[in-house]
Amino acid sequence: MLQNFSKNVVFWVLWAFPFILTAQQINTSLQEREDTQLDTTKNLYSNTHLWGYLRNNEYFNPIFLGETFFGYAGQSTLLYTPHKNFNIEAGIFFQRELGAKEFTEIQPFLRLKYQKNYTENTFFRVVFGNLYANYNHNLLEPLYAFEQPYNRFTEQGLQINYKKRKFEGEIWVDWQQKLQRNPATQEIISGNGRFDFFPIKKEVFFVKIPLQIRLLHHGGQDLNTKQAVTLALAGGSGVDFGWNFGENKRVHSLKFMLNALYSATDRSLDTLGTNIKVPSLVVPNGTALYANVMAEWKNTNLTGSFWAGEDFYFSQGGGLYSSIPQSREGIYQKSRRLAFLRFTKNWHIDSDIYLGLRVEPYMDFENGLLEYNYGFFIKYNPKINVKL
């Protein structure tokens, strides 16, 4: 089995190599702006992040059913810098799906940020409260679903970033659900890390060794419930390399990436608060190889991807990559072999206004299906100095 699996991976990687090669999807236009330099002390700013989106998954496969996300989200905050290394951002966040009578979510927004800049490209940052979330983490889609922000846009907890010339690191805790005893509600906590090492980092050529880790815990002590106490692990590492040719060239950049991924889930029953753990359903440990190739020109991106996985499963990762459906029971597919061709186009209308288009057909070799998704977004993210 493993020998056949390896042969299939080698065959499809070589097949894809001549015209799409390998690299991680980049969703930078969807990211919230991160200021690498804190503003002048005592200044007050109005900070707005508005995002309209359409995402349509035309899927009919047994693992991940199709769904349409059509709505808007936004946050409106005031940002104040009482100290050169510290600022406070507070306001409100809202999200609404079109066609719904009520808002999906309305909640307060608070972000406390400490940042120490050593040089232009070296800084240390700690964020408490609302994190720089979702696409800002730059995670692989098998570890963080592209659709995840539509279901849960904000993340709250603690986030630490460190960057220097040949290293970028981020660790964060996302406290997704608080434990409650009446009614019994499990706590849900996600612990994560992303680390990028650059053996070679030049203006024209780079080599990067990425490491990404995700932990997801469902549970809590002395809960009067028979819900499974779960600890899930998923992660990956590999190699990226590529060339930046410059914007005056026909192709601005060409990048390649190959990652090996692993997943594991441990489940047990905490029976009626007695802390007696009883073995329950165990999801098999999974492995996968994930290859991407990216070419970029004139705000356009063409990426080819190949996924070969066995028993891979992470509940907050991309549903297509999983061997087990996230919302349907009784279905299991040990091997998943998928090939994607992803086209994205971004329009930078103004310094704070972005439009984006994404079209992605893919082939499911195990089920003999050719399916597709497409999406469109508009983002407005200005920062305005409020005169005091």
Give the pLDDT of residue 214.
97
**What pTM was computed for the model?**
0.87
74-78 contacts at long range (C-beta below 8 A, 24 or more positions apart) = 74/48, 74/49, 74/50, 75/47, 75/48, 75/49, 75/109, 76/46, 76/47, 76/48, 77/46, 77/47, 77/48, 77/109, 77/111, 78/44, 78/45, 78/46, 78/47, 78/386
Q: Is the separation of the CB atoms in 376 and 354 below 8 Å?
A: no
> What are the DSSP calls for 116-129, one per residue?
EEEETTEEEEEEEE
Q: Is the separation of the CB atoms in 192 and 216 below 8 Å?
A: no
Q: Where does 2-386 sit in CATH, by number? A: 2.40.160
Partnered with residue 230 across adjacent β-strands are: 218, 267
Give the pLDDT of residue 38.
67
Give the pLDDT of residue 2.
39
Here the tokens at position 77 are 């905050």
CB-based contacts of 362, cutoff 8 Å, min separation 6: 320, 338, 339, 340, 341, 370, 371, 372
Give the pLDDT of residue 274.
41
Each of the 388 residues of the chain gets a pLDDT tens digit; together they read 434 444 444 444 333 333 333 334 456 777 887 776 666 677 888 988 999 999 999 999 999 999 999 999 999 999 998 988 899 999 999 999 999 989 999 999 999 999 998 776 788 999 999 999 999 999 999 999 999 989 889 999 999 999 998 999 999 999 999 888 778 788 999 999 999 999 999 999 999 999 999 999 988 776 666 677 888 999 999 999 999 999 888 999 999 999 999 999 886 644 434 444 434 445 679 999 999 999 999 889 999 999 999 999 999 999 999 998 877 777 889 999 999 999 999 998 888 899 999 999 999 999 999 999 999 999 998 888 775 5
Residue 149: helix, strand or coil by DSSP? helix
DSSP-derived pairing of the beta strands 369-380 and 44-60: antiparallel
Question: For residues 69 and 56, what is the distance between their CA atoms, to the nearest angstrom?
Answer: 6
Which sequence spans correspond to the domains of the chain? 2-386
Q: Is the peptide bond before 284 cis (omega within 30 degrees of 0)?
A: no
